Amino acid sequence: MTMTTRMRPLRGQVTVPGDKSIGHRACMLAAIGTGASEIIGLSGGGDNQSTRHCLSAAGATFESGGANVVRVEGRGLRGLRGPGDPLDCGNSGTTLRLLMGLLAGIPGESFTLTGDASLVRRPMERVAAPLRRLGADVVTAPGGRPPVGLRGVTLTGGRVVGAVASAQVKSAVLLAGLGARSETTYVEPIATRDHTERMFVALGLPLVRVGDAWTLTPVDRVPPHRWSIPGDPSSAAFWCAAALLTPGSELTLPGVCLNPGRTGFLRVLERMGAEIGVEDPKMIDGEPTGTLTVRYGPLRGTTVTPDEVPDCIDELPLLALLATTADGSSEIRGAGELAVKESDRIAAMAALLRADGAHVEVHADGWTLAGGHRPMGGFIARTHGDHRVALCAALLDAAAPAPVVLDAPEAIDVSYPGFVRALADLRTPSARLRDP
């Protein structure tokens, strides 16, 4: 981005990619469905594509069904097959962890699940241990990491009390329970995003909730479905931040998933003084959606408490960045999970923000952030190959007077291919008007 375009206000409408969490689940439920499903609006980002490729390798057929539509021929509840070669989950923890649950109960089929240099460092026993309670034969590599080996057996079902606040663990258990011999109950330590539950209900699967316990009765088949994937709030969050960093900006983001388990960042931003409007509410496949409008305005510092963390876990790096620019200091705590994401996001974000000149104190479970910083730029950002760190670095580049050069800009493509281009386009309206 050139000096002349980087400081311009952002005005206009942006359609964000399909929600990544829902996209993974739609691919998986379609792949074990009986018959043909369709997925409208599946993200082209690397993570959803990893899920699609793993499921294709296991025998489900994915093909284009027209613009923005993927047609999936499901193989039935126990119809996916171990291809012999390991399934490569790329950078996607959700792919690997949810596939563990999806594939553990296919008798006689063996699977090995692995991923890139980041994924093979991430903890998998948090899923393996609960699956063993349901009767699964699952092994992890030393340190509880990938590769993960599964030898498919008919699962018994059972009761699992979650030890980590993780939608991935909960979802793996519920997916495993679909084909088990008897009921599976998952007790949540803290409520996390509930896309799996909403999607099961949309399919008419027998899942009931009593307090913090979800109980699933096994089924013989999963019906096919036409899934419409709403926009990804975690991607929309970057546009909210871009507008909040750039005076004179106003952006409209239509069709964004507004599941309360994903919109904690909106609640935090509103507390910081941001003006964010929600219009045009619609339910899509059991998910609330709407159009967000965000206007530039000054922010004040805040405290993000541990109980708020699950609803904004993926947006905490971004909130940390915004907090450095706020009036007054901020505290984000209870977020130790960030250390085991695609990178150690506590350390990676502290390094990024400090490289820009901001004052950040690091804790094992978050940060204390001094406010009053204005993005400076003029450095090479270490992204650690982590898409959310890379997107934060791209935002700093756009907001600072001097460039921020990303060491691995391609990391952004994991969740948001085209983000940098879209940001540049919004800033150069005159150039676009001149285009033939």
Residues with a known catalytic role: 314
Which listed range, 164-172, 255-263, 281-289, 366-374, lies at the site for ligand S3P (CB under 6 A)? 164-172
* Extended beta strands in 176-269, E state: 184-187, 207-210, 213-216, 226-228, 250-257
Which listed range, 29-37, 61-69, 167-175, 245-253, lies at the site for ligand S3P (CB under 6 A)? 167-175
Beta bridge partners of 153: none
- Between residues 168 and 249, which has the closer beta carbon with respect to ligand S3P? 168
Check binding of 51 to ligand S3P (CB under 6 A): no
State how far the Cα of 47 lies from the Cα of 49, in Å rounded to an integer. 5
Question: Which position among 94, 114, 140, 228 is part of the footprint of ligand S3P (CB under 6 A)?
Answer: 94
Residue 220 carries which side chain, given as an amino acid letter? D
From residue 328 to residue 357, what is the string marking binding to ligand S3P with x (rule CB under 6 A)? ---------x--------------------
CA dist list (Å): 60 to 56, 80, 180, 224, 256: 5, 7, 21, 13, 28
Which listed range, 2-10, 160-168, 256-264, 363-371, lies at the site for ligand S3P (CB under 6 A)? 160-168
Which listed range, 112-120, 128-136, 161-169, 265-273, lies at the site for ligand S3P (CB under 6 A)? 161-169
State how far the Cα of 133 lies from the Cα of 173, in Å rounded to an integer. 10
| Residue numbers 2-21 binding ligand S3P by CB under 6 A | 21
CB atoms within 10 A of CB 189: 15
Check binding of 166 to ligand S3P (CB under 6 A): yes
CA dist list (Å): 128 to 26, 97, 135, 197, 324: 22, 9, 11, 20, 38
From residue 186 to residue 215, what is the string marking binding to ligand S3P with x (rule CB under 6 A)? -------x----------------------
State how far the Cα of 390 lies from the Cα of 381, in Å rounded to an integer. 8
Q: Encode burial over 194-233: b for 16+ CB neighbours within 10 A, e otherwise.
A: bbbbbbbbebebebeeeeeebbbebbeebebbebbbbbbb
- Between residues 337 and 425, which has the closer beta carbon with respect to ligand S3P? 337
Q: How far is the CB of 26 from ligand S3P (least distance, A)?
A: 12
User: What is the dihedral sign for C-alpha 164, 167, 168, 173?
Assistant: positive
Q: How far is the CB of 165 from ligand S3P (least distance, A)?
A: 7
Which listed range, 48-56, 165-173, 301-309, 379-387, lies at the site for ligand S3P (CB under 6 A)? 165-173
Question: Count residues contacting ligand S3P (CB under 6 A)?
Answer: 10
344: burial class by Cβ within 10 Å (0-12, 13-18, 19+)?
middle
Question: Which position among 197, 308, 314, 315 is part of the footprint of ligand S3P (CB under 6 A)?
Answer: 314
CA dist list (Å): 174 to 72, 311, 362: 21, 20, 36
Determine the 3-state secondary structure of 346 from DSSP.
helix
Residue 273 carries which side chain, given as an amino acid letter? G
- Between residues 55 and 426, which has the closer beta carbon with respect to ligand S3P? 55
Question: Which position among 16, 30, 128, 167 is part of the footprint of ligand S3P (CB under 6 A)?
Answer: 167
- Between residues 321 and 400, which has the closer beta carbon with respect to ligand S3P? 321
Check binding of 43 to ligand S3P (CB under 6 A): no
- Between residues 193 and 382, which has the closer beta carbon with respect to ligand S3P? 193
Q: How far is the CB of 171 from ligand S3P (least distance, A)?
A: 6
Q: How far is the CB of 417 from ligand S3P (least distance, A)?
A: 17
What order of strands is seen across the sheet that includes strand 213-216?
158-161, 184-187, 213-216, 207-210
| Residue numbers 21-40 binding ligand S3P by CB under 6 A | 21
- Between residues 6 and 170, which has the closer beta carbon with respect to ligand S3P? 170
H or E segment to which residue 49 belongs: helix 46-57
The answer to whether the CB of 158 falls within 8 A of the CB of 134 is yes
> Which residues in this chain contact ligand S3P in the complex, by CB under 6 A?
21, 94, 166-168, 171, 193, 313-314, 337
